[in-house]
Amino acid sequence: MGTMRARWKAILAVAFGLGVWGAAGTDSLRAGEPLPPLELRETAASRVCLVTVRNSMGLPRGYATGLLIGDGRFVLTDLATLVQPGVVQAQVRFEDGTTRTARRFGFADPVLGVAAIALDGDAPLRPGFVLAAEESPVDGSVAVTSAGWEWGATLKLVRGRLVAGKSGADLAAEVGCNPPAARQAFMSVNGGVVVGTSGSPVLDGQGNVVGIWLAIAGKGRPIDVVVPAAAVRQALLSAKPELKDFADLPASLWPARVQRMKGETPSPAALAQTVRSIRMQVLCKKCKGTGTIIVTRVVGQHRVGGMVQTDVRRDRETCPDCGGEGTVMDDSAYKVLTLLADQALRILLDSGVEERAREAAHVNVVDVLEAMGKLTGRSRRAFIDAAVKELGRGAGDSPRGFVAYAQVRETLTGPDGDYVVFAPLHSGRLLAARKDGLSVPSGEGQDPPAEQGPPVLNYGRWVVLAVVAEGAFDLEGREVVIVRPAAWVPGPSLGPPPSRERPPGESDPGESDPGRPPRREDGDPGFFGL
C-alpha cells in the first residue's frame, strides 16, 4: 500500500505538472504575444473536451465541458455533473474524435466546484493547458475567450472580458446554501458565454487557463461564475495524491445547472406551442370537435307567386370524419406527441429553468396525456397503432420521445435505483423507467418529489406514459427500452392483469420498500437478467 501511495504521489506530481509550471512563474504567461485567433482555436480544440458521464448501464447521465491539464493525464471538469446517481464513468471526447474513459478522480473540491478525473491508459494523451499561477486582474483589462461544448454538441469559442464576480458568501446567500468555510472570490466574464455547458475554460490571450466557468442554478435563474484557475492550481498542489472511484466524489457545494440531455433546452413558449399544435391536430376539423354536423337536405319545392322555393330540412348527424368522437388521431399528430415528450423532459430536467415554468410544463403534458386517455374508438386505435409503429423502431437513435398506453409490470433493481417495467399495448417491447423519476416532476435528484396524490403505479395498472428512450437492454430475448419519464397519468383499462407470473421475490411496484437491500450487486452487467 505504501509503495502504491508513493508511486501515485510521483505520478500525480508529474501528471498535474504543477511543479514545473511553478518554476516558470507568471512572467512567461504574461510576456508572450497574444495568439492569433486561429491558433487559439487550435489550442482549445486539442485540449477542451466534451465530458459525458454514464451509469453502469452505459447510459449518459449528463454532459459538461472538460479541459486537459498538465501532461495530459487529467481532465478538469464540473464536479456537479460527475456527482449524479449511478454515475461510474466519464467519457471524454475531443473535436478530432479522440476519446478516453475516466473511472477515477485525483482531486475534487466542493467549494471550487471542479474535479480532476484521471484518463484511463498509461500514456498521457497530449500536453494539456497551463493553469495560471496568479489571479488575473478583474478590472476588465484582460480580454478572455471561453471555450466550451455548446449544448453538448459543438465546440464554441466566445470572447469577453474578465471582471470581478461574487464572493463565496454572496453566492451562498443567493442560491440559499451554507457559505463556504474558507473565503473564496469568484470571477465573471463580461460578454457572452458558451451556453448549455459547465466547466468551460476561460483562456487569456496566450491560451492559458485563467478560470473555469461553472453554470450554477440560482433561485429561478442561472448564475454564471468563473472559478479562478490560480485557486484550482493551489488546491491541486495541496491535494492528497490518490485516485478514487467516482462513488467517493464529494457533492458540490453549489446547486448546479447540470446539462442532462444533449441539445438545447426548449423554451416554455416552444412547449406551449407544441401543446397548441397537438390540440389543433387532434381536433376534428369537420365538426370542430363536437362530433356532429348539420346536414341540409332538399325535401321539396313549392311556388310562391311566380318563384320556385326549395324546401330544406336541417338534420344533426354524426360527423363522418371522426365517427362522432370529435377527435382525429394520425401519424403526424402522434409525431407532435413524441416531440412534446422530448421537450417536456428537457425542461423538467433543466434546473436552470424556473420552477414555475417546469411545473407548467408538467401540467401541460399531464393535460395532453389525460386527453389521450379519453380517446375512444377509431382515434384510440389510431393512437395505439402510431405508438406501436414508433415503438417498433426500438431505442434506435436515442434520445427520442414515446407516448403510449402501457401496463405496469414488475420492478427491477438497476445499478442506479429501482426501475418500473411497463408493457406498452400490442408491442413486443418493454419499457423500463427509473422509479424515482416517475414521481418527480422536475429537477431529477434535486428537488423533493412533488406529491402526485392517489395514483400509484400498482402491478397491472394501465397508464398513459410520455417518455424519452435512452438505450436498450435484452431481457429474456425481449428488448427492454430504458426510458426517462416526462409524465404519466392513469389510463383506460385495456386488458386484464398480465398473466405472466411475477418472479419469486418480485414486489408490487406500488408497495416496494425503498430500504430493502438490492437483490443484485451494483454494476452487475447482467442485472436485468432476472
Q: Which residues bind Zn ion (CB under 5 A)?
A: 284, 286-287, 319, 321-322
CB neighbours of residue 330 within 10 Å: 14
For the CA atoms of the chain, what is the radius of gyration?
28
The CB-of-292 to Zn ion minimum distance in angstroms stands at 8
- Nearest distance, CB of residue 377 and Zn ion, angstroms: 12
Q: Which is nearer to Zn ion, 216 or 319 (CB)?
A: 319
Residue 180 to residue 426: CA distance in whole angstroms:
55
Give the residue carrying C-alpha cell 479562478.
228
Measured distance CA(472)–CA(215) in Å, rounded: 31
Angle between helices 377-391 and 331-349 (to 10 degrees): 60
Query: 191 or 291, CB closer to Zn ion?
Result: 291
Assign 3-state DSSP to the chain and report helix, strand, coil percentages, each to 5: 25, 35, 40
Q: For Zn ion, which is the closer residue by CB, 64 or 319?
A: 319
Residues 6+ apart with CB under 8 A from 162: 136, 137, 138, 140, 142, 144, 187, 188, 189, 190, 202, 210, 211, 226
Report the nearest approach of Zn ion to the CB of residue 113 (Å): 56
Give the CA distances from residue 474 to residues 396, 409, 432, 477, 505, in Å, rounded to whole numbers and listed in that order.
14, 16, 11, 6, 21
285/389 with CB nearer Zn ion: 285
Q: Give the Cα separation of 267 and 478 in Å (integer).
A: 37
Which grid coordinates belong to 256? Answer: 448546479
Closer CB to Zn ion, 322 or 465, in the complex: 322
CA distance 401 to 162: 41
**Minimum gap (Å) between residue 321 Cβ and Zn ion:** 5
C-alpha span between 65 and 264 (Å, rounded): 15
Report the interhelical angle of 268-282 vs 331-349 (nearest 10°): 160
State CA 314 to chain mean position distance: 56
Least distance in angstroms from the C-beta of 289 to Zn ion:
7
State which residue, 286 or 389, has the beta carbon closest to Zn ion: 286
Task: Please state, in angstroms and rounded to a whole number, the distance separating the CA atoms of residues 403 and 405.
Answer: 7
Nearest distance from residue 222's CB to Zn ion, in Å?
45
Q: Give min distance, CB of 282 to Zn ion, in A.
A: 11
Nearest approach, Cβ of 329 to Zn ion (angstroms)?
12
Nearer to Zn ion, 379 or 407 (CB): 379
Which C-beta is closer to Zn ion: that of 218 or that of 323?
A: 323
- Least CB distance to Zn ion at residue 385 (A): 19
In terms of CB distance, is 112 or 287 closer to Zn ion? 287
Shortest reach from residue 285's CB to Zn ion, in Å: 8
In this complex, which beta carbon is closest to Zn ion, that of residue 32 or of residue 377? 377
Q: If we measure between CA atoms, which residue out of 327, 311, 309, 310 comes closest to residue 319?
A: 327
> CA 393, CA 205: separation in Å to the nearest integer?
49
Write the CA distances from 343 to 49, 282, 358, 511, integer angstroms.
26, 19, 11, 31
Q: Is the Cβ of residue 284 or residue 395 nearer to Zn ion in the bound state?
A: 284
* Neighbouring C-beta atoms of residue 371, cutoff 10 Å: 15
Q: How far is the CB of 283 from Zn ion (least distance, A)?
A: 9
- Using an 8 Å Cβ cutoff, are 387 and 405 in contact? yes
Closest separation between CB of residue 281 and Zn ion, Å? 13
**CA distances in angstroms from 528 to 14, 84, 261, 412, listed in the order given:** 42, 21, 24, 7
Nearer to Zn ion, 163 or 319 (CB): 319
